[in-house]
């Protein structure tokens, strides 16, 4: 049985940890509220713009009118990996790492490491893959320090320009989609080339004679890039809200676990103290009997 001093030290340590996890839970709850409001307001705009993009893409010649929809043989791939800057969020970051590894193993298993580039948004993803020798880009790992559309736009433009220049034949995005505080859904989506939606190729859309105002060229040059940047930013907002939800849940469980551990430690402390008192009483009684004898 551990000594009383040792048990007291563990009780103090666990109690301090419980206070920290409780404070982190409250901080994450406040950040989650703001992040959830941001993604809730942004989703309708992003979804509507995505629908317009799908309908527009169905009317364009993907090889000439829409360079972002050009289908070509996939030789080089850019995977955008969206994680967090900090840990203590349960399996939030490890799930993304597993999803990226599964994507590479399934879709790009015959590719060499040089032909698979990982654009890491968030330090945890960069640290994980760089330690394992992956071809990583660290220029945009600090986006969450000051998250906004203007700060996220350069990363989206990097991926788009790389596709247009032929440096990458496909751009995928892997991130956590926010569902609720306790649930995050892993999403693996293709950003480029733009996919033709099945609904957009039906008679309702493909056979419609669109009148473009302003010109077709201006719409392609303005709307499509903007829509891609919006989809990119939406994935980052989803991941941001998911991170705070995952951390809030993890810290809540850690606080509960600390509470249970404190109960066990206090019970152990009381047993040790009772055993020590009993031992002292036995020694006193034994000494008294020895003197009496």
**Exposed, middle or buried by CB within 10 Å (0-12, 13-18, 19+), for 88?**
middle
Closest CA to 265 of 10, 5, 13, 3: 10
Exposed/middle/buried for 176, CB within 10 Å: 0-12, 13-18, 19+? Answer: buried
pLDDT averaged per 10 residues in sequence order, the chain, 293 residues: 80 91 92 90 87 70 68 91 91 93 91 91 92 88 88 92 92 92 90 69 50 71 86 93 92 92 89 82 80 74
pLDDT score, position 283: 80
Domain ranges of the chain: 4-19+252-292, 39-250
- Do the beta carbons of residue 134 and residue 113 sit within 8 Å? yes
Residues with Cβ within 8 Å of 117's Cβ and at least 6 positions away in sequence, in order, are 76, 77, 78, 79, 135, 136, 137, 168
**pLDDT at 273 (0 to 100):** 83
State which CATH number among 3.40.50.170, 3.40.50.2300, 1.10.10.10, 3.40.1380.10 fits the domain covering 39-250: 3.40.1380.10
Instruction: Output DSSP code: residue 68.
Output: G
- 44-56 burial, b at 16+ Cβ within 10 Å, e below that, comes to eebeebbeebbbb
Q: Which of 157, 174, 163, 170 is nearest to 225 (CA)?
A: 157
Residue 174 sits at φ, ψ, to 5 deg, of -120, 125
**Nearest to residue 170, comparing CAs of 96, 214, 208, 116?**
116
CATH number of this structure's domain 4-19+252-292, picked from the four choices 1.10.10, 1.10.3470, 1.10.287, 1.10.260: 1.10.287
- Contact present, 259 and 11 (Cβ < 8 Å): no
Q: How far, in Å, CA of 236 to CA of 84, rounded?
A: 10
């Amino acid at each position: 049985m551990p000594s009383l001093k040792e048990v007291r030290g563990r009780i103090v340590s666990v109690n301090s940890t419980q206070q920290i996890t409780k404070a982190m839970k409250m901080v994450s709850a406040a950040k989650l509220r703001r992040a959830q409001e941001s993604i809730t307001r942004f989703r309708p705009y992003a979804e509507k713009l995505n629908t317009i993009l799908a309908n527009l893409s169905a009317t364009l010649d993907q090889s000439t009118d829409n360079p972002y929809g050009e289908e070509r043989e996939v030789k080089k791939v850019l995977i955008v990996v969206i994680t967090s800057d900090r840990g203590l969020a349960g399996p939030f970051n490890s799930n993304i790492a597993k999803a990226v590894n599964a994507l590479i193993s399934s879709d790009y298993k015959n590719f060499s490491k040089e032909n698979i580039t990982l654009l890491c948004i968030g330090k945890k993803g960069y640290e994980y893959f760089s330690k394992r020798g992956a071809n990583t880009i660290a220029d945009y790992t600090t986006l969450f320090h000051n998250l906004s559309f203007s700060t996220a736009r350069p990363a989206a433009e990097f991926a788009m320009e790389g596709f247009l220049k032929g440096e990458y034949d496909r751009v995928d995005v892997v991130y956590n989609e926010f569902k609720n505080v306790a649930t995050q859904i892993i999403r693996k989506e293709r950003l480029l080339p733009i996919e033709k939606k099945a609904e957009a190729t039906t008679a309702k859309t493909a056979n419609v004679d669109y009148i473009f105002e302003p010109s077709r060229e201006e719409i392609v040059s303005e709307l499509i890039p903007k829509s891609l940047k919006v989809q990119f930013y939406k994935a980052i907002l989803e991941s941001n809200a998911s991170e705070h939800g995952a951390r809030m849940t993890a810290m809540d469980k850690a606080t509960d676990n600390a509470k249970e551990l404190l109960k066990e430690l206090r019970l152990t402390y009381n047993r040790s103290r009772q055993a020590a008192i009993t031992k002292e009483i036995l020694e006193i009684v034994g000494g008294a009997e020895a003197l009496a004898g």
